Structure 1
Amino acid sequence: MGSEMKAGPMRVLVTGGSGLVGKAIEHVVEQEGGKLEGEEWIFLSSKEADLVDAGQTRAVFKKYRPTHVIHLAAKVGGLYLHMKENLHFLRDNLKINDNVLQTAHETGVTKVVSCLSSCIFPDKTTYPIDEKMMHNGPPHDSNFGYSHAKRMIDVQNRAYFQQYGHRYTAVIPTNVFGPYDNFSIENGHVLSALVHKTHKAKMEGTHVHVCGSGDPRRQFIYSLDLGRLIIWVLREYEEIEPIILSVGEEDEISIKEAVDMIAEALDFQGKILFDSSQSDGQVKKTASNSKLRRYLPDLTFTPLKEAIKMTCDWFIANYDIART
């Protein structure tokens, strides 16, 4: 543990605490012994405070007096909503991030770990992408508002360090999936949307229609693996520069391979049809996890097949409460 931890037990405020990653961290803390003696963990949902509003942000910090913050909250939507409302996503996320970071600064928070997204990387780039390449060119045009707002967290972290010596940092996960994800067929993350689509096709005895060719490749990280890593970053990682949290380049798989794993996990026997007339999005966004490996050379991830099976089982068992 870093030297700053000696002052007493941590009080950790997790913004976006009811989302996919927040729920994973909560599981690790409450079910896997991730909480140390005397620590307090507060999982904040958007119902309790609208972080776009500076006054509400200050009120919630005053109420819980955190010593540490894991900042996951963001205004997000599906691809098409982002394309339509780039300004809206830019402004709301700039406000949320500035409110959280500046209030943390004003209230003497020791450390903030913010969560970025792999969409912040330059659209035109060489692969694999690493942490130093984030600002090397504009992000993909489809959600440039959201991406630029996320990039600014890194800029702001560096400025807080330069001016005040604060250890605020950020993590960049690749494609996250798991229990409590958004399983909406229209607006969900790719893997979870496909879980819902395949389950629905099985129930109705129809085919699974996949948008695009199935060729794009992605690195998928199970939410519980990510939760454990974010807690490690909070406790042990001292750099200001962000760190990519991802499985290795060799674990990148195609959307087609992912659909096959989902079909197997759900015992779906029907046809899977790919609609190549639909957009594929980015062909690949291969990220390097070599920095993470330098810190944690023995790190192992939940095998993808197993993680997909657990996610499918959770979705079926919690169908009535899942976000669909």
Structure 2
Amino acid sequence: ARTDRARHVAPSTRGYLQDSLSAPSFTMGKVIMVTGGTGLVGSAIREVIEAENNADEKWVYLSSKDGDLTDPADTAKIFDKYQPTHVIHLAAQVGGLFANMKHKVQFWRNNVAMNDNIFQECHKRGVEKLVSCLSTCIFPDKTTFPIDETMIHNGPPHFSNEGYAYAKRMVDVQNRMYKSQYGCNFTAVIPTNIFGKHDNFHLEDSHVIPGLIHRGTNCLKEGKDFEIWGSGTPLRQFIYSVDLAKLMIWTLRSYEEADPIILSVGEEDEISISDVAYAVAKAIGMPKEQVKFDTSKADGQFKKTANNAKLRKYLPDFKFTPFEEAMETTVKWFMENYDVPGAVRGAVPKA
């Protein structure tokens, strides 16, 4: 199984990880525990790490079956079992717009509880490094662009997901407090829009790219037009999950600031929703003419541009996977695994 995963990561990737993402302080005998380890980003981290094949590190990928991270006793048992020296914290309660608006208290309480338990166990047990994953939704609703790491607390987030957004913001506050009071080496990353294999492809409760892939595939099978809501002009920055995985591994090994870091392609790599739709169509084998835009529907926010200057200061030569290449890989995985029971979240396999 390791060989199958490894072949999807280019030799240049393996060399980059071994030569550039290692740090002298990252010594032998490390146990790295990844919460939310079976999701989009956790699966990508596993793919990259298994290609690297470093015998000096033991990686543990948690799923919800391992226990309830909102429960202090369950969290303590997990730490007792695996004795991690390092933690990448990806687990979170997430949901679509409707769920976020209807259940703000639950999104706040469950995420705060999860984060608090992870932080406290890492502190009590002397975990050497904790890297948490945030979201650009934590930034103020009313802001200037491009956004950067200094702007997180400049105003309230959008009211629609304030429970989730404020819970994630508090991770940044916790990182600084634990460093100030206890000297803990805790930090966080802020990725832009992530996509890739092992995403949630649910037709009604997914992010833009997996949703378009699923709908586009259905339209192709049914011979229907691929209808996109809005004009297609809004711009977004997308990061391929494998690229994010490499950067999170670098953060774990080499990034020493408590202040968060945005992990994203550059402003020059923003792409319009129309170009995303055309890339999906190309990857699934649909004629471009079959893509239609319903301009009677609202576009939403025109842009959410993030500045990756801080990342480029540290890693000026990091090469992101070309968007169309990443799209083709993601679509290929989706189509090959769609009818495999339990393989694709949001799939509706044939009975």
- C-alpha separation in 1, matches of 2:284 and 2:37: 29
CA distance in 1, matches of 2:159, 2:283: 35
1:123 paired to 2:144? no
TM alignment of 1:289-308, pairs within 5 A: 289-308=308-327
User: Could you tell me how far 1:40 is from its partner in structure 2?
Assistant: 0.3
Aligned-pair CA distance for 1:215: 2.0
| Matched ranges for 1:67-216 at <5 A | 67-216=85-234
Residue 126 of structure 1 aligns to which amino acid in structure 2? T
Once residues 97 and 113 of structure 2 are traced to their aligned partners in structure 1, the CA distance between those partners, rounded to angstroms, is 21
- Name the CA distance, whole Å, in 2 between partners of 1:279 and 1:60: 45
Q: 1:272 aligns with which of 291, 307, 310?
A: 291
Query: Normalization by structure 1: what TM-score?
Result: 0.96
Map residues 230-245 of structure 1 onto 2, 5 A cutoff: 230-245=248-263
In structure 2, the residue matched to 1:9 is: 29
Q: How much has 1:273 moved relative to structure 2? A: 2.7
Alpha carbons of 1:89 and 1:177: their partners in 2 closer, same or farther (altered >3 Å)?
A: same
5 Å-filtered alignment, 1:209-228, equals: 209-228=227-246
Q: CA RMSD in A?
A: 1.3
Deviations 1:5-25, CA, capped at 9 Å, x for gaps: 34x421000000000000000
Q: Residue 83 of structure 2 aligns with which residue?
A: 65
Distance 1:279 1:47, change over 3 A: farther
The alignment partner of 1:47 has SS state of helix
The amino acid across from 2:26 in the alignment is M
- Secondary structure in 2 matching 1:233: helix
Q: Give the equivalent residue in structure 1 for 2:4.
A: none
CA drift of 1:158 comes to 0.2
For 1:5, the aligned partner's letter is: F
Q: Extract structure 1 runs of 4+ deviating beyond 6 A.
A: none
Shift of 1:50: 1.3
Residue 251 of structure 1: aligned partner: 269
Q: CA deviation at 1:310?
A: 0.6
- Aligned: 1:314 with 2:326: no
- Name the stretch that deviates more: 208-217 or 152-161: 208-217
Provide the identity percentage: 55
- How far apart are 1:214 and its partner, in Å? 1.8
The equivalent of 1:283 in structure 2 is 302
Count how many residue pairs are aligned between Structure 1 and Structure 2: 321
Shift of 1:2: 5.2
Find the residue that maps to 1:5 and give its secondary structure. coil
Return the letter of the residue paired with 1:245: L
Whether the aligned pair in 2 keeps the contact of 1:170 and 1:243 (CA below 8 Å) is yes
Match among 4, 19, 31 for residue 39 of structure 2 = 19
8 Å CA contact retained: 1:9, 1:38: yes
Distance 1:86 1:211 in 2: 27
After superposition, the Cα gap between the structure-2 partners of 1:49 and 1:193, relative to the gap in structure 1 and judged at 3 Å, is: same
Deviation of 1:277 after TM superposition, in Å, equals: 4.0
Aligned-partner residue type, residue 327 of structure 2: I
CA–CA separation in structure 1 for the residues paired with 2:32 and 2:332: 30
Structure 2, unpaired ranges of 5+: 1-21, 347-351
SS of the residue 2:66 aligns to:
coil
Offset of residue 282 of structure 1? 2.4
2:304 partner SS: coil
Q: Report the CA distance shift for 1:3/1:310 in structure 2 as closer, same or farther (over 3 A).
A: closer
* 8 A Cα contact 1:2 1:238, kept in partner: no
Deviations 1:221-241 (A, max 9, x none): 000000011000000001110
Cα drift, residue 260 of structure 1? 0.7
Please, what TM-score do these two structures have when normalized by structure 2?
A: 0.89
Q: 2:72 aligns with which of 39, 54, 66?
A: 54
Instruction: Measure, in 2, the Cα distance between the counterparts of 1:302 and 1:257.
Output: 16
The 8 Å contact of residues 4 and 110 in structure 1, kept in 2 or not, is answered as no
> 2:78 corresponds to which letter in structure 1?
V
Q: Does the aligned pair in 2 maintain the 1:110–1:166 contact within 8 Å?
A: yes
Residue 216 of structure 1 and its aligned partner are, at CA, apart by 1.8
